[in-house]
Amino acid sequence: MTLDDAAVEQLVAAARAGDPEAFGRLFDHYHGPVYRYIAGRIRRPTDAEDLTQAVFVKVLEALPRYESRGIPFGGWLFRLARNTVIDHVRMHRDHVELDALAERPGTEPGPHEVVATRSELESVAAAMAALTDEQRDAIALRFFAGLSAKEAAEAMGKQEGTVRGLQFRALAALRRQLGIQEGPQDEAPRRGGQGRRS
């Protein structure tokens, strides 16, 4: 079940007041996106699972002190997730590993498909490794976690336009690295008809 911003804020208020069911619903709503974000930045799936749990422990501990101040709860939560990943990477020198995201339950690929998939994943991982840390974060938050530009901006502590710029430059760099041609819809967004790149 998808929750809108108003429903999330109601659940946050209830969870802050000590309602475990409200916290459980917040956990259910955000667990998948948080895990996908972390799995996009951390090498081993078991580490991603552990870090996801650690994020929610931090949320539970910090929730009594949480104040909205016009910041969406999701942005605050993903800032905690991002900081948790940064701390882990500093300690373990992990790199992006996309194998966990490519697993398809219930399918048994043949040896040729396994080799082709492995080659593609290695190409994507190498291309991702060539990005800056901020570009990787923007891509992971926007596409792995599915956050809006505004939520990703809050998680990264940046302006929304800055995150959009990081995302655009990261996608352009990935296309170049992977040899993907840009189409007309991939051109940089323009403002006010002046032809300036955002």
Q: Which domains does the chain have, with CATH numbers?
A: 5-102+110-180 (1.10.1740.10)
**Residue burial 30-55, b: 16+ Cβ < 10 Å; e: rest:** beebbbbbbbbbbbebebbeebbebb
**Rg (the chain; Cα; Å):** 18
DSSP string, the chain: ----HHHHHHHHHHHHTT-HHHHHHHHHHHHHHHHHHHHTT-S-HHHHHHHHHHHHHHHHHHGGG---TT--HHHHHHHHHHHHHHHHHHHH------HHHH--TT----HHHHHHHHHHHHHHHHHHHTS-HHHHHHHIIIIIS---HHHHHHHHTS-HHHHHHHHHHHHHHHHHHHTPPP-GGGSPPEETTTTEE-
pLDDT score of 143: 79
Share of the chain above pLDDT 70, in %: 75
- Predicted local confidence at residue 189, as pLDDT: 47
Which pLDDT does position 185 carry in this prediction?
Answer: 46
Encoded amino acid at 70, one letter: G
pLDDT of amino acid 136 = 86
Q: Which two tokens stand for residue 160?
A: 């929304």
pLDDT score at 117: 62
The pLDDT assigned to 108 comes to: 60
Cα gap 124→127, rounded to integer Å: 5
- pLDDT of 32-61, one tens digit each? 999 988 888 887 788 889 999 999 989 988
Residues of the chain below pLDDT 50: 94-104, 184-198
